Amino acid sequence: MGYFNNIRETIRTIFEGMAITASHLVREPYTVQYPDRIDLPIQDTLPFRYRGLLDVDLEICTGCLACERACPIDCIVIEAEKNKQTKEMILRRFDIDLAKCMYCGLCSEPCPTGSIHHTPEFEGADYSLESMVRRFVKAPIPAYKPTKGPETDPEIAPLLTRGLRYLDEFASPGDSK
Amino acid sequence: MQQLADSLLQTGFLQGVPTEAGYALVIAFFAFVLLNFIMLIAGVTSWLERRVWARIQSRVGPNRVGPQGVIQWLADGIKNIMKEDIVPAEADRPLFKAAPYLAMMGFFATFAVIPFGDGLVVADLNVGVLYITAVTALVVVGILMAGWASNNKWALLGGIRSAAQIISYEIPAGIAVITVVLFTGSLSMQTIIRAQGWAPWDWFLFANPFLCIASFIFFVSALAEGNRTPFDLPEAESELVAGAFTEYSGLRNLLFFLVEWGNLYVIGALYTTMFLGGWQIPPITEQPVIQGVLQFATFFAKSYFLVFVAMWIRGTLPRVRVDQLMTLCWKYLVPITFANLIGAMIWFVLFPNGLAIMRFAMFALGVAVTIYFFSRILFHLRRARPRLRLNPIS
């Protein structure tokens, strides 16, 4: 008796569905009107791993180029070279074209120190495409060299802590948390 | 309205005007008043629908223009009027331009017989229900013409879908109307209302099981005829861009939306007339003016509640496929409504004056279903543990 079953199921499911939507009708809306000011700046209410505009902490960048290789649309350009005498990496150029970036987050996953990361900042509108290229290296600077044991430099330690926390909060594949 | 026109011609300020010109003036005046009334209704409905729909989806909805966005519809209307009215180069120009007005005409003509009160009706035609069924079919011509004249694949598909849908659903809707007409013996809207009473157990909705089934079938078919979700296939955004209205812009597009939202009110008014006792009020006052106002308020509240139910359904049900639409009509609604009509005939032969016990039993059943429904709403609210905000417009 599929025919009468269909009629019964139609009535039962529409009855239940209408009850569910009616219960939503009297609930508080989840959304916040965006340009309205709320108690906190809206960026502070977003989660730590929110994928907003990309940022780089140059102080802890090792110049390993992992992010450049990971980027599927080549919006990251890094020029680094090894200083022959001191054996340390020199960063000459670190550009991110935010006009191209699609906020996939693949660059920040392989970063060993959490230097390249997304910020909760999302208001990135601008008038020209050129100005959307963020150039992080103003003058050539040496790359960060990981130390054995805990970091001691008081300027770098908090950045590194933050970066490692950022890496820790990636959900590894198969992890359901 | 003819009495009013006559009295105005004999004693009122139309004295000395030729009879035909006086009639024309009165007709033009009421047409003007009704047109403005439905503009207002359609506009406010468009805003309220967006708010209700948004709240069902846990959003806020338009709340910027005016307090809580109540004049959002005015802003939208002005924007649409000021937009350029584009006619595609390859379109059939005269048909393309005429189509929105035809759709508008078919929908606006129904207001001539909608009874807002005891005397508050423009024309109490003795074939009122038949007239409505006939003139609403004119909307099909408008939509099909729009789809054809746009010279666009999506528009044509939308127009053809609309024609197939509206013509199919005329049958269950018509038979459901006949079920009511069977018990009143008249097609006149006012006679149908007078055959009912003010109390819920005197309504046709609870008169007997057959009329109750007919009322649901009528509501579903009316939604399909008005191109409402879940039957809004003619303008299915996900498949057909905007269906028959794809190429329209500016005022003509606005007219189609006016028809859509205004039709919603016509559905509510028809359902109220046939099943919910229309403008019937308890005999509490003899004053004709207060009586008229109360009757209008009763009728408006009942029909607007049904408009709200249509919005609620739009927020609940997904759009059906074309084959599902046709299956629902031809395999389910048509046989059920015919069987229902035969059952109603047998009932009418057995109990020509109705059965009081059945009225009260049906009413009790209706109350029980409503209470169970509210208990289900409370169950879902408790399970989600939400913060309540009972004010629907904030």
> pLDDT grade, residue B341 (50/70/90)?
very high
- Judged against a pLDDT cut of 50, whether residue A176 lies above it is answered with no
Greater pLDDT, B179 or B197: B179
- The backbone torsions φ and ψ at residue A114, rounded to the nearest 5 degrees and listed phi first, read 75, 25
Q: Which pLDDT does position A177 carry in this prediction? A: 42
Check if B308 contacts A (Cβ < 8 Å): no
Q: Which pLDDT does position B282 carry in this prediction? A: 84
CB B205 within 8 A of CB B213: no
Cα gap B299→B278, rounded to integer Å: 6
B42 burial class (0-12, 13-18, 19+ CB within 10 angstroms)? buried
Check if A38 contacts B (Cβ < 8 Å): no
Check if B388 contacts A (Cβ < 8 Å): yes
Cβ distance A27 to B58 less than 8 Å, yes or no, reads yes
Mean pLDDT computed over every residue of chain B = 84
Q: Which pLDDT does position B367 carry in this prediction? A: 92
All structural domains of chain A, each given as residue ranges with its CATH number in brackets, are: 44-168 (3.30.70.3270)
Tell me the whole-structure pTM to 2 decimals: 0.78
Tell me the pLDDT tens digit for each residue of A1-44.
688 888 898 889 999 999 888 888 887 777 776 776 677 777 77
Check if B197 contacts A (Cβ < 8 Å): no
- Judged against a pLDDT cut of 50, whether residue B118 lies above it is answered with yes
Set of chain A residues whose Cβ sits within 8 Å of the Cβ of B387: 27-28
- Judged against a pLDDT cut of 90, whether residue B371 lies above it is answered with yes
Q: Which pLDDT does position B12 carry in this prediction? A: 64
Tell me the pLDDT tens digit for each residue of B82-107.
888 888 888 888 888 888 888 888 88
Q: Which pLDDT does position B372 carry in this prediction? A: 92
Tell me the ipTM for this assembly: 0.79
Tell me the pLDDT tens digit for each residue of B344-369.
899 888 888 778 888 888 889 999 99
Q: Which pLDDT does position B13 carry in this prediction? A: 67
Cβ distance A26 to B390 less than 8 Å, yes or no, reads yes
Looking at residue A6, its amino acid is: N
Set of chain A residues whose Cβ sits within 8 Å of the Cβ of B366: none
A-B contacts at Cβ under 8 angstroms:
72
Cβ distance A27 to B381 less than 8 Å, yes or no, reads yes
- The backbone torsions φ and ψ at residue B65, rounded to the nearest 5 degrees and listed phi first, read -85, 110
Helical ranges in chain B per DSSP H: 2-10, 19-56, 72-82, 93-108, 128-149, 153-184, 189-194, 209-225, 237-240, 250-275, 288-316, 322-327, 334-350, 356-384
